């Protein structure tokens, strides 16, 4: 410690900064758009599109065009009323300028502009302006075409009339600022397309067009669904087998709160629920979802007992039973939605639960009475699910590890770690005893556990709980995890911070990883979403140089990396004046004495496996994320489900993209 102490830093009024106008947005963009990553970049588009959607919800707009321009800027144009251009009394400036330069300025605060709206409640347009190098807004209104330009949020000139207009609407073009979006400023067409299609489903009758004008990327799509969310359900079920033809559709309005529900059952065992509030996807559900679930369970049980399909002595069907195989889209429009958290993923309005429950229950009760054949199909599916649940109940109880300290209920083949601090612990899932032996010997036993699986894991895409609990490998995995499953799932009990699939770097290894991924996605998606699931990346090649105690091994992870490594070493040797035998094997030209291809993890000794794949200092892990749940659901259904035809079509469509030389025979 030094003898001299640093003088205390002065802290007085001079250190207090006041950020005016849009300075705060540029200083802390993450507060307004979540992040400056690729997600935040695309969020800019949605803030402008949301304004056009609000015009559609108000009944003044039926067509929105989104264009990625050749310079990678975005243009959003609608045929709504056009942003007002007259003088805003509080600012003394044109209303359109106020909207784009003043935070919390807009028609969404009870002034009669909009009854229902999404977006950032009046900050969207100004935030986009603040985070753009250039932004131009054009307004067609009152027979005139108005225009104003901005640079990094600042006005470049007064609002001016640049021509005549025969129609009304607003057109916004903006170019994201690379000083803000340092990761990327390049928009992804597919990412935009997915959300635009979703918005078209959620806003019945609205046409949204997207076009990419960038060189060599020209593409255009248009989405328009008169069926609205009913069409959305049909889209979600396109690779599944519905057990009745037409999706059920129920709508209603109470106290200016509009509720739309569409649902259809399939022959699968998995539930797909997509809920929205003012077009915002509520990933975490909320009061509208809770109201629906309560109503669904009660109405089906009441109907089943009324029709004597459930006997007096039988238990009621549970929520889990009646939701098996359900595909649901729930959309509400609320004049004042309250979201929990900054991310707006959970609806908090308490009154919505009762309203959704009442509107859905009344409509669904009428539907069941008017459609007795469909009603019987729905009830029968719930009864079958209940029987499977009861058959699995006893086994399921055995899979729940009640605490991180409990070891009595662990699978016998698990080589557990000694630490009980879950945030430090890792579980390596490996195929077979051979790989497990090397992993157990090479691991850090304090924090690393190893669970070997025998053979191929059960394909849980095609299995109910009762079949899953008859499978020793699945049961072992559930026991080791400590989180339970189904209605007993509780992620707070998780025993390991990292769940790592460590399989061979071949086709069989990839298949086992896919089967594991299917299980986690269908039954433990929260574990993936919480960032606990990883893929280990073992090396494919070992390149040896030197002998005896001087022997060193360079590890490379794929064919491309191998070629690059060998070329790099050959060039280094040539530059150093080493004579190269052009007739020798390439690894020898590179100065290596041996080249080994690892067909499986069992070919590595414990020291090699630790060094390359398990040591946190050296290893490469790939985190598993669910970026697009809808697409993931479709892929698992297509590739892991019962339909052979879907897989056949997939293989035939994509076979041409496979390089035969890359296949491992």
- State whether residue 509 is helix, strand or coil: helix
Nearest to 199 by CA among 82, 280, 115: 280
Decide: 544 and 552 in contact? Cβ < 8 Å: yes
The size of the chain, in residues, is: 665
CA 518, CA 461: separation in Å to the nearest integer? 7
Asked if 440 and 450 count as a contact pair (C-beta separation under 8 A), the reply is: yes
According to the 3-state scheme, what is the secondary structure of 427-452? EEEEEHHHHHHHHHHHCCCCCEEEEE
Three-state DSSP class for 269? coil
Instruction: Concatenate the DSSP letters of all residues of 68-94 into one string.
Output: E-TTS-EEEEE-SS----SEETTTTEE
Residue 630 CA to residue 523 CA, distance in Å, equals 16
**Encoded tokens for 322:** 């009646």
Contact indicator for 168, 141 with CB cutoff of 8 Å: yes
Q: Supply the residues annotated as catalytic.
A: 431, 504, 506, 508
| Conformational region of residue 590, where left means phi above 0, alpha means psi within -120 to 50, and beta covers everything else | alpha
Rounded distance between C-alpha atoms, residue 345 and residue 118, angstroms = 13
Concatenating the DSSP letter of every residue in 182-211 gives -S--PPPHHHHHHHHHHHHHHSTT-EEEEE
Task: Give the position of tokens 């597919």.
Answer: 190
Torsion, CA 630, CA 631, CA 632, CA 638, rounded to 10: 110
DSSP state letters, 587-611: HHHTT-SEEEE-SSGGGS-HHHHII
Which of 92, 93, 124 minimizes the C-alpha distance to 107? 124
What backbone torsions phi and psi does residue 624 show, to the nearest 5 degrees? -90, 125
Question: Three-state DSSP class for 419?
Answer: coil
């Amino acid at each position: 410690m030094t003898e001299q102490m640093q003088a205390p830093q002065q802290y007085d009024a001079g250190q207090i900064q006041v950020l005016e106008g849009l300075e705060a947005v540029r200083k802390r963009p993450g507060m307004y758009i979540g992040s400056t990553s690729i997600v935040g970049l695309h969020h800019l588009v949605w803030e402008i599109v949301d304004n056009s959607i609000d015009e559609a919800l108000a009944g003044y707009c039926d067509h929105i065009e989104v264009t990625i321009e050749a310079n990678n800027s975005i243009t959003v144009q609608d045929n709504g009323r056009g942003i007002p251009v007259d003088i805003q009394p509080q600012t003394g400036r044109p209303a359109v300028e106020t909207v784009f330069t003043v935070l919390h300025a807009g028609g969404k605060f009870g002034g009669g502009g909009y009854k229902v709206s999404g977006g950032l409640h009046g900050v969207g347009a100004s935030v986009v302006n603040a985070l753009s190098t250039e932004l131009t807004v054009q307004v067609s209104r009152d027979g005139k075409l108005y225009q104003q330009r901005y640079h990094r949020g600042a006005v470049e000139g007064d609002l001016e009339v640049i021509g005549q207009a025969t129609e009304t609407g607003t057109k916004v073009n903006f170019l994201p600022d690379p000083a803000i979006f340092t990761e990327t400023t390049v928009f992804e067409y597919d990412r935009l397309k997915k959300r635009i299609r979703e918005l078209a489903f959620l806003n019945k009758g609205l046409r949204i067009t997207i076009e990419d004008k960038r060189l060599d990327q020209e593409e255009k799509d248009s989405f328009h669904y008169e069926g609205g969310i009913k069409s959305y359900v049909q889209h979600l079920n396109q690779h599944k087998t519905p057990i009745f033809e037409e999706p059920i559709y129920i709508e209603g309005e109470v106290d200016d709160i509009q509720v739309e529900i569409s649902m259809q059952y399939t022959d699968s065992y998995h539930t797909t629920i997509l809920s929205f509030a003012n077009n915002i996807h509520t990933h975490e559900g909320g009061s509208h979802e809770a109201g629906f679930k309560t109503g669904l369970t009660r109405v089906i049980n009441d109907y089943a007992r009324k029709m004597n399909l459930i006997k007096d002595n039988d238990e009621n069907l549970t929520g889990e039973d009646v939701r098996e195989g359900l595909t649901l889209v729930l959309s509400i429009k609320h004049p004042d939605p309250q979201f929990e958290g900054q991310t707006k993923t959970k609806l908090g309005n308490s009154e919505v639960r009762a309203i959704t429950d009442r509107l859905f229950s009344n409509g669904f009760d009428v539907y069941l009475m008017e459609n007795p054949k469909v009603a019987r199909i729905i009830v029968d599916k719930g009864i079958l699910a209940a029987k499977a649940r009861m058959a699995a109940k006893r086994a399921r109880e055995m899979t729940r590890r009640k605490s991180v300290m409990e070891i009595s209920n662990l699978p016998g083949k698990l080589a557990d770690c000694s630490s009980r601090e879950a945030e430090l612990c890792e579980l390596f899932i490996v195929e077979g005893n051979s790989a497990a032996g090397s992993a157990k010997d090479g691991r850090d036993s304090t924090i690393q556990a190893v669970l070997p699986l025998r053979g191929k894991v059960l394909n849980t895409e095609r299995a109910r709980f009762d079949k899953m609990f008859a499978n020793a490998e699945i049961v072992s995995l559930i026991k080791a995890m400590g989180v339970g499953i189904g209605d007993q799932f509780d992620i707070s009990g998780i025993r390991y911070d990292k769940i790592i699939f460590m399989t061979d770097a071949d086709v069989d290894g990839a298949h086992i990883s896919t089967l594991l991924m299917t299980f986690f996605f269908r039954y433990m998606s929260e574990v993936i979403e919480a960032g606990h699931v990883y893929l280990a990346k073992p090396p494919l090649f070992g390149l040896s140089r030197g002998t005896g105690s001087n022997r060193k091994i360079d590890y490379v992870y794929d064919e491309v990396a191998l070629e690059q490594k060998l070329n790099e070493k050959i060039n280094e040797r040539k530059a150093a004046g080493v004579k190269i035998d052009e007739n020798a094997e390439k690894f020898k030209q590179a100065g290596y004495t041996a080249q080994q291809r690892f067909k499986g993890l069992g070919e590595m000794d414990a020291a090699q496996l630790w060094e390359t794949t398990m040591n946190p200092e050296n290893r490469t892990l790939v985190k598993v994320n669910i970026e697009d749940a809808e697409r993931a659901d479709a892929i698992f259904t297509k590739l892991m489900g019962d339909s052979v035809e879907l897989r056949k079509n997939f293989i035939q469509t994509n076979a041409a993209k496979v390089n035969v030389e890359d296949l491992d025979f």
